[in-house]
């Protein structure tokens, strides 16, 4: 617990899936033993793109908390809380926004791409809030003086911007208030969706996190395999098979053997899928059971989030006082 302090967050934007788990949460579970961690359900970030439809926001926050806890994030070891519950996030974002050049925000590579992607989806992202997304993210990290941020490829430009904001602040106000946060890169395992495209709720190709075994097995049965393989004895090409990609992630002991048998036409797709389903279901059984249990205890989930909020607030208030003093906002 002394490698430094981590801040990270996830947007509560609908049901969590196995791709999210392998991409980020699995790393957090490991990092919680090595760092002091603040993990936040970033509801304000969710508003930057979903401001027009907030009807599911509270449900999504609860669902995300349940996902995190059932995956094994420890609410004693880590500070787990909802971003908007600690008002200093909004206050610091506003203060940092005063000095963040527009050009820095406009040239974040994901900015224009995302607006374009969502064009025609009914979401209008030509807003002040969406442009300021990286400033809010910088505020999250800086409010706790985090030294490390676990990032995937998609967030590294945002972290770089945070570092620029930190340097500018420390220079402008002649005080080393903030450390420059470092990226903690971890080998994110990329899982495709069951149809081979990126796993995404909008494609309907996900395996929901905490899904019961029947659902996991059913999704595996739907996975596309080598289309040239008609009979079980035809040699298969694992490189074009979605099941193989999952075997590589979830069945590391047997994958080499399965690959060889597939190429030799000695194992059929049905059997290969069955074997994957068994592996995945035994790995996910504990998570599924924990999730079921926590779903029945909304009072407990609320307590966990309140406890985290209190602990986050102590740190946030202390740092905010120092930040404002440096800026002569008294």
Which residues make up the interface to ligand TRP (CB under 6 A)? Answer: 7-11, 42, 45, 137, 140-141, 149, 155
Query: Of the two residues 41 and 243, which places its CB atom closer to ligand TRP in the complex?
Result: 41
Rounded to the nearest whole angstrom, what is the least distance from the CB of residue 119 to ligand TRP in the complex? 20
Rounded to the nearest whole angstrom, what is the least distance from the CB of residue 36 to ligand TRP in the complex? 15
Name the residue among 256, 278, 258, 277 with its Cα closest to residue 268: 258
Query: Of the two residues 87 and 292, which places its CB atom closer to ligand TRP in the complex?
Result: 87
Question: Which residue of the chain is nearest ligand TRP when measured via CB?
Answer: 9
How far apart (Å, rounded) are the C-alpha atoms in residues 63 and 231? 43
Rounded to the nearest whole angstrom, what is the least distance from the CB of residue 136 to ligand TRP in the complex? 7
What is the DSSP code string of 114-165?
Answer: HHHHHTTTT----SHHHHTHHHHHHHHHHHTT-SEEEE-GGGHHHHHHHHHH
Partners of 82 in the beta sheet? 41
Rounded to the nearest whole angstrom, what is the least distance from the CB of residue 287 to ligand TRP in the complex? 21
How far apart (Å, rounded) are the C-alpha atoms in residues 283 and 213? 11
Strand 79-82 to strand 148-151: parallel, antiparallel, or no bridges (unpaired)?
Answer: unpaired
Query: Of the two residues 10 and 262, which places its CB atom closer to ligand TRP in the complex?
Result: 10
Query: Of the two residues 10 and 211, which places its CB atom closer to ligand TRP in the complex?
Result: 10
Query: Of the two residues 236 and 308, which places its CB atom closer to ligand TRP in the complex?
Result: 308
Cite the beta strand spans of the chain per DSSP E.
5-10, 36-41, 79-82, 148-151, 182-185
Rounded to the nearest whole angstrom, what is the least distance from the CB of residue 272 to ligand TRP in the complex? 33
């Amino acid at each position: 617990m002394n490698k430094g302090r981590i801040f990270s967050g996830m947007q509560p934007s609908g049901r969590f899936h196995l791709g999210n788990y392998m991409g980020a949460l699995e790393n957090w579970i490991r990092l919680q033993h090595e760092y002091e961690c603040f993990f936040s359900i970033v509801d304000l970030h969710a508003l930057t793109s979903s401001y027009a439809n907030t009807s599911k926001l509270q449900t999504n926050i609860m669902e995300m908390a349940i996902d995190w806890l059932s995956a094994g994030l420890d609410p004693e070891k880590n500070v787990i809380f909802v971003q908007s519950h600690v008002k200093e996030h909004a206050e610091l974002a506003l203060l940092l926004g005063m000095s963040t050049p527009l050009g820095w925000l406009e040239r974040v590579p994901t900015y224009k791409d995302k607006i374009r992607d969502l064009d025609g989806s009914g979401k209008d992202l030509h807003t002040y809030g969406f442009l300021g997304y990286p400033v809010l993210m910088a505020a999250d990290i800086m409010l706790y003086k985090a030294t490390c941020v676990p990032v995937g490829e998609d967030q590294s430009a945002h972290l770089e911007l945070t570092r620029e904001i930190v340097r500018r602040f420390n220079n402008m106000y002649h005080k080393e208030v903030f450390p420059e946060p470092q990226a903690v890169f971890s080998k994110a395992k990329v899982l495709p969706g069951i149809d081979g495209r990126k796993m995404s709720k909008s494609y309907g190709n996900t395996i929901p996190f905490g899904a019961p075994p029947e659902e996991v097995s059913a999704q595996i049965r739907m996975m596309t395999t080598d289309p040239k393989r008609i009979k079980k004895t035809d040699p298969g090409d694992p490189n074009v098979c979605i099941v193989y990609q999952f075997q590589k992630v979830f069945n590391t002991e047997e994958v080499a053997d399965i690959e060889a048998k597939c190429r030799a036409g000695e194992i059929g797709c049905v059997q290969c899928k069955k074997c994957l389903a068994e592996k995945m279901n035994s790995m996910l059984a504990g998570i599924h059971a924990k999730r079921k249990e926590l779903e029945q205890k909304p009072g407990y989930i609320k307590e966990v989030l309140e406890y985290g909020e209190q602990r986050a607030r102590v740190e946030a208030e202390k740092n905010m006082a120092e930040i404002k003093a440096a800026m002569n906002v008294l």
